[in-house]
Amino acid sequence: EDQVTQSPEALRLQEGESSSLNCSYTVSGLRGLFWYRQDPGKGPEFLFTLYSAGEEKEKERLKATLTKKESFLHITAPKPEDSATYLCAVLNAGGTSYGKLTFGQGTILTVHP
Amino acid sequence: GAVVSQHPSRVICKSGTSVKIECRSLDFQATTMFWYRQFPKKSLMLMATSNEGSKATYEQGVEKDKFLINHASLTLSTLTVTSAHPEDSSFYICSARLGTTGSNQPQHFGDGTRLSIL
């Protein structure tokens, strides 16, 4: 069974204080790992897709990396507007989860001015 | 690009009413659409997957007669909650994706529908 575990559950940062969010996964075969941002009362907003170990993607203050067991979302010099829940999801290559995303529980990020 | 519109954003209705939620992909053709349910402070729970022109595939434990899904075109899917009861109150979110079952393209989500059954 696919498993996705995100840590920490909640993270409070001061503006400008860089940090990382972790997403550990167990799948029989990874077809893709996805990062989303979700604001309260809204649907998830797509950020990145990573397809293979060693791959990195960047967008503004965010950088996502991938290994064979986990992914990190690095946030450099965060601003209050980066406050949101960040979700990680994996797409399995086969089995009963084929074609479906398995989501982690999310990390609630709060950035204080 | 990759905009998904979901309507309505909020519904409040009496027990026993049927409610229809629409999900549209505005700038791409969505071969596959998904319907999720999200409980407070929880992650997304997949309810069903639908491919255009085919019957939806429901996840275990989801009543197909309760949650009717129609995906009649490449840009529109609808979820109808039939004879809704208070326990059906939740946040329902749709997503759309290019490609069929084996696609590894990202899903793009609507902004969700908050359903409250009195």
Record the tokens describing residue A112, joined without a space.
């204080």
pLDDT at A96: 66
Beta-carbon separation of A104 and B112 below 8 A? no
A84 phi/psi in degrees, rounded to 5: 180, 175
Within 8 A of A96 by CB-CB distance, chain B residues are: none
A46-96, pLDDT tens digit by residue?
Answer: 999 999 999 999 999 999 999 999 999 999 999 999 999 999 999 987 766
Alpha helices, DSSP H only, in chain B? Answer: none
B56-113, pLDDT tens digit by residue?
Answer: 999 999 999 999 999 888 899 999 999 999 999 999 999 999 876 677 889 999 999 9
Record the tokens describing residue B117, joined without a space.
């059954």
Distance separating alpha carbons of residues A88 and A72, to the nearest angstrom:
10
Q: CA of A10: which chain B residue's CA is closest?
A: B41
Is B27 an 8 Å CB contact of chain A? Answer: no
CB pairs A-B closer than 8 Å:
54
